[in-house]
Structure 1
Amino acid sequence: MATEPPGVPQSFRQLSGGQRKAFFAAWLGYLLDGFDFILITLVLTEIADDFDLDLTTAATLVSAAFVSRWLGGLVLGAIGDRFGRKPAMILAILAFSVGSGLCGFAWGYWSLFVFRAIVGIGMAGEYGSSATYVMESWPKAMRNRATGFLLSAYPIGTVLAALSYEVIVPDLGWRWLFYVGIVPIALALYLRRSLPEAAEWTAEVAGRRDVTTSSVLFTPRRRLGNGLLAAVLATALVLVFSENSGGVSWLLVAVVVAGFVAFAVQLAGRLWPVMLAIMVTVFCAFLYSWPIQSLLPTYLKTELGYDAGQVSNALTWAGLGYAAGSCLAGVLGDRLGTRRAYVLGLFVSLAFVFPVFALPAGNIVLLWVLLFAMQATSQGISGLLPKYIADHFPTRLRAAGLGFSYNVGALGGAVAPLAGAAIAADLGDLGTALTTLAVTLTVTVALIIGFDLPARIGRWLRVSTDISADTPARTSTDRTTP
């Protein structure tokens, strides 16, 4: 196996001060993103009481951020491709900070739904811009570690949100928890003054106005049509996920799918079937992971009878497993190759899914251990997902390609709790429903990635992509640095 040329960093300690600074800034931004995004799940019962909502209606507020994520991934990704990764990252932080702060001023269901949608736009932009910024600032031999370490920030943000809930809400109320979400604006101001632009984007794209996604999406002849298309898509998604579709849900879903295909064709050109395959992959990934993330607290409280403190401890260990697994995934990805490490993690995770939901009440410590291991291998392995997706797009399309395809697929996160609840109603057991979804969709994603279906589609269509995701980083195909 060939090695990197002398002088190219092979470990975190060998990175330059600027590369470390870029990583920590993006990591902190993604931590705060996770903090702001998860707040709504912690105070749903308080919001339901305050606005006189039933819990089913209140739960649709969680989906509000998913409704807008595709738009954030598309627009902020296009900005990142045209103007640079750093300004897109700053705009994303401002969006989810302002959206979170506005949630504290909400006066009813629809105002809160809109403000949560703003959070979703920022979250989508932060995912795409931070991942591309770190990858394009680090050597290619370390890019799985770049994304794996970066995504470890999200679960830590959710743990900090849970701790903040315990400190703030009992004394000050749920609104103050959202006011705290404004804090990341200070980070955005710091980033604007102190960070350099990503080296690879600067070398390959900066100054070229005719090759980026923004030049395709926002040209004068397409601007109006794309604006109208975005408005139609947003309206259809809001009606579906706020449960106001009036009996025409399937028609609205068809409109949404057609709209996403139209944007994919414009965005990726001949690569659009590859982009659609990636969207399906991400959608399935959310369907195996988000039923557990969204319904695990309900399962622990209703099926096993654990109190709030025990549930909080269990979720903390699950979050720590997610963070540790993301870091481990990055190390394995750089050693084994992105695809091999991803598939290995998914199949190992199946060994923990059955014990978690077969464990009877009263085994709280063993539950912590199993949840840690399950989330480390199933959710944690998704730390490789940005690298896997980015490998299919050239630099000029990478931010929007990654941001749009990932965040369209992320709509699986909005479908997941509904699917879990529906299967549970049929089977009469929530644990069995979560196990069924997790196992079926985990195997599906492992097969898609294992057989490299998006890249196979690209080869069949004879369109090139970036470096193959199954190539270990330290090979002769991967010698250059950004």
Structure 2
Amino acid sequence: MTQHTHSHDLRAVRWLTYLMFMMFAMTTDAVGVVIPEVMKAFDLSLTAAGLLHYGPMVAIAIAGMCFGHLADKLGRKRAIILGLALFAANSFLFVIESTFWFYLTLMVLSGLAIGIFKTAALALIGDITRSTTEHTATMNGVEAFFGVGAIIGPFLVTYLLNNGMEWKWLYVIAAVLCVGLILAAWRIDYPKTMAQTDKPIDVARTLRMVKDPYALGFSLAAFLYVATESAIYVWMPTYLLGYQGEAVWLALYALPIFFILRAGGRFVGVWMMARFNWAAVMVLFTGIIAACFLGAIIWGKSAAVYLLPLSGLFMSVIYPTVNSKGISCFEKHKHGAAAGVILFFTALGAAAGPLLMGIVSDANGGDAVYGFIVATGFAVVLFFGFVFNLLKDPTRRRLHELEQRDYKNQV
């Protein structure tokens, strides 16, 4: 494994990666604000309008599994530019038509493009870090910028609507930013990761990776975490409807507060994961998350209005750490495929979790608390999974071996 990149290029690559995640989060996490506008414009049901969330998530899952290998086969830079180019071209098309099925088609295509450049960007993190510990800290930094984008996107949609413009101009703004990222990426030297293997790099290799216990374990953790997290940004506003307690203002701004705490916590996570035992932190934080969800169910809306937004602070480090450790359990020339597998389960959790919650709630008279009982189950299983990880430490030997092999002589 050989890598040649000047330090100033590494800094530029790192910042481009941060900005890339911020850019696409502006669109994916703004869908909650977009859906009510689409429902009014096309007289849609909740289920039909929800396709704007489920569709792109399924597309990202498919892209992660089918195209994750491109980061290893084409190289990180080419795969990133390919995905960004597809995303930009697709986003500009939002202005040429105004039908629901056209919008849904474009959002699904944007999910495919995101899956291509996101897996390549996740694989790239291993190329620009000098240890698995730094890998985890950097992953938290990347996801922190994603969290910033998740705040900016809904704000921009609200601003556009308040000024008499349509929500779809958000995608044009994202496309312009994307073009700037493409031009910058084209001019910067990326690290060269050379695969020491004669085996073909293709979809079949990615599918075989699912059988690996490390890939499967971290992928299931990603599924459980995202299914828990999506309960907040999809169903928390519904659960808090009708709240009449002393913290009415908090119920009104619960979702933005959740996103702010999640983003801020990830910046803290960059510092924390570089200094503390990641396995212990994961047990502590998943335990607090499970407690927040349990409290929201046991004591009802009067507690949920505080506990559910607060859970964002402790959710902040979970997903980037799962992603980092899962990818780090493989050689660098397999990071693209590993990222694709984890991304598949991530997007699957984002789609299946809220859908199951909605089905259970509808089966119990439409009361959202029953959906949160399902989400609490996800959180509790995730907690016990990390208790097992702390006690057995199944990744210690593998991470140590790969650290010595892939990172020891890196400049």
Is the pair's TM-score, using the shorter chain for normalization, greater than 0.5? yes
Q: Which residue matches 2:410?
A: 481
Displacement after TM superposition at 1:160 (Å): 0.7
Displacement after TM superposition at 1:438 (Å): 3.5
For residues 112-156 of structure 1, the C-alpha deviation after alignment (integer angstroms, 9 at most, x for no partner) is: 222111121222234322222133202214111100011011221
Give the conservation status (yes or no) of the 8 Å contact 1:322–1:375. yes
Displacement after TM superposition at 1:308 (Å): 11
Q: Which runs of 5+ in 2 are unaligned?
A: 1-5
For residues 28-74 of structure 1, the C-alpha deviation after alignment (integer angstroms, 9 at most, x for no partner) is: 00000100212332121221232332232111221000121123223
CA RMSD of aligned residues (A): 3.6
The alpha-carbon distance between structure 1 residues 28 and 445, as it changes in their structure 2 partners (threshold 3 A), is same
Q: Which runs of 5+ in 1 are unaligned?
A: 1-14, 218-261
Instruction: Classify the secondary structure of the residue corresponding to 2:329.
Output: coil
Q: Which residue matches 1:241?
A: none
Instruction: Classify the secondary structure of the residue corresponding to 1:110.
Output: helix
2:119 is equivalent to residue 128 of structure 1: yes
Q: Which residue matches 2:34?
A: 43
Distance in 2, matches of 1:438 and 1:107, equals 35
Q: Which residue matches 1:157?
A: 149
- From 64, 71, 85, give the equivalent of 1:94: 85
Displacement after TM superposition at 1:284 (Å): 1.8
Q: Which residue matches 1:68?
A: 59
The one-letter amino acid of 2:354's match is: P
2:345 is equivalent to residue 353 of structure 1: no
- From 51, 57, 81, give the equivalent of 2:48: 57
Distance in 1, matches of 2:206 and 2:35, equals 34
Q: Which residue matches 2:215?
A: 275
Superposition TM-score, scaled by structure 2 size: 0.84
Displacement after TM superposition at 1:107 (Å): 4.0
Distance in 2, matches of 1:312 and 1:94, equals 38
Q: Which residue matches 1:177?
A: 170
Distance in 1, matches of 2:82 and 2:58, equals 19
Moved more, 383-392 or 416-425: 416-425
The alpha-carbon distance between structure 1 residues 273 and 203, as it changes in their structure 2 partners (threshold 3 A), is closer
Give the conservation status (yes or no) of the 8 Å contact 1:34–1:158. yes
For residues 427-472 of structure 1, the C-alpha deviation after alignment (integer angstroms, 9 at most, x for no partner) is: 557453354233321221233344349x99999xxxx955489xxx
Alignment of 1:69-468 (within 5 A): 69-140=60-131, 141-170=133-162, 171-198=164-191, 202-205=192-195, 210-211=198-199, 213-214=201-202, 217=204, 264-265=207-208, 268=209, 271-303=211-243, 313-355=253-295, 358=299, 360=301, 367=305, 370-371=307-308, 373-427=310-364, 430=367, 432-452=369-389, 466-467=399-400
The one-letter amino acid of 2:144's match is: S
Distance in 2, matches of 1:371 and 1:337, equals 26
Q: Percent identity?
A: 17
Distance in 1, matches of 2:167 and 2:281, equals 41
The alpha-carbon distance between structure 1 residues 195 and 302, as it changes in their structure 2 partners (threshold 3 A), is farther
Moved more, 68-77 or 414-423: 68-77
Distance in 2, matches of 1:320 and 1:443, equals 24
Distance in 2, matches of 1:394 and 1:49, equals 49
Distance in 2, matches of 1:390 and 1:304, equals 45
Distance in 2, matches of 1:431 and 1:137, equals 43
Distance in 1, matches of 2:247 and 2:183, equals 41
Give the conservation status (yes or no) of the 8 Å contact 1:342–1:381. yes
